[in-house]
Amino acid sequence: MIQIQAFAHKDNHIKHFVLTNNNGICAKITNYGAILTSLTLPLESGEREIVLGFDSLKDYKNKSYLKDYPYFGAIIGRYANRINQGKVRIDGKTIQLPTNHGKHHLHGGYSGFDKRTWDAEIVGKSRLQLSLLSMDGDEDFPGNMKLTVIYELNDENELAIYYSATCDKTSPINLTSHTYFNFTGGEENILNHELQIDSDQILENNTELIPTGKYLDVKHTAFDFRAQKKINQDIKAVENYDNCFVLKTEGKTLKKVAEVYEEKSNISMEVSTDFPGLQLYTGMFINIEGHKKFGPFSGLALETQGYPDAPNQENFSHGFIHPGEVYQHQTRYKFHF
C-alpha cells in the first residue's frame, strides 16, 4: 500500500510517499532527492526507526545539516563517491567537473541528484517510480541523462531499489543510495552493530581517499569482515571506515554481499546487489547542530555502487555510460526481526 502526504508547506510538487507492507514495515520516500526519509519496523516493544532522516523538507535544507552534509538517505549522482581533482577524459578531451570536496569531485557536485525534485509515479501497490532528466552540462557533466529509480517494499520484508539510466553522450555515472542504518533507534551509536561483508579485497586509497588503482587483501587487517564482527572490534586501527569493498558480483548477478545484526533489538539486515562495490562508511563525521542523536557514528552507510574514480582508472570498469547503453543495477535490503 502507498499513501501520499505533504512534505513541504510551500511546495505542492514535493510529496512524502508512505509504503507499507502487510507485515507492518513502513518506508517513507520523498521525491526531493529521492530520499528514503524513514524506515520503521514493528517490533514487540513498538515501532522502531532504523534509518537517519527528517520529517520535513525544511530540515533537509537547514544550514546546520548542509554544513557538513551527510546526504541522509538520498540517491546520489551523476557520480557517487570521488573523482580525482574532478577531471575526466572523454574522447581525448579533459572535462572539468566541480571540485566540491577540497580539490576533488564528490557525489555529483554542488547540486547533485540529492537536491533535485524528481517526478513521482505510483506504478503498483508496492512500487514507487521516481524519474529525472539531467540536462547536458548539468554540473558540467556531458549528455542528456534520463534516470529512473524504483523503490519497492514487498511482503518478504525486502526494500528493493532499482536503478536505470540512459544518456545521449558518453558520461561518467555511478548511482547509489546514501542511507544510514542504526537498529537501536538512535539510543546508541552503531559501533556495537555486527557486520559481515563477503569481500576479500578493498580498493587501496591515498590519504585523500582517492583510489590508487591497486587492490588490497583484507586478510589480517582491520578491513576483514568476512566473518561477522562488531564494528568497533578493529576500528581503532583505522579511526573510521570509509572504504570501497570489492564484491563478487561478476556478470551483474544479484547476490547477498553483506549482513548487519544488532543484538539488543535482534534486528538483522541482508544486503543483496549486482553492483561491483560497497562503500562502508561508519559516520565519524556526522555532526548536526540541534540534533543530539545525529552525532559521530550515529549511522552506518553501506553504499552499493561502482568504484570511486573509475573513469580515471584503466583497470576499473563501470565508470561510464555510452549512447545506446542502459545502465541498470539493483540493491535489496531484507529484514529479520
Annotated binding site for beta-D-galactose: 81-82, 178-180, 242
Catalytic residue among 105, 303, 318, 329: 303
Please state, in angstroms and rounded to a whole number, the distance separating the CA atoms of residues 246 and 209.
Answer: 15
178 is catalytic: yes
152 is catalytic: no
Please count the CA atoms within 13 angstroms of the CA of 186 that sit on its side-chain side. Answer: 15
Give the full edge-to-edge strand order of the sheet including 180-181.
Answer: 180-181, 300-305, 277-281, 242-246, 201-205, 211-217
Per the annotation, where are the binding residues? 81-82, 178-180, 242
Please state, in angstroms and rounded to a whole number, the distance separating the CA atoms of residues 212 and 328.
Answer: 26
Catalytic residue among 178, 193, 318, 329: 178
Residues forming the active site: 178, 303
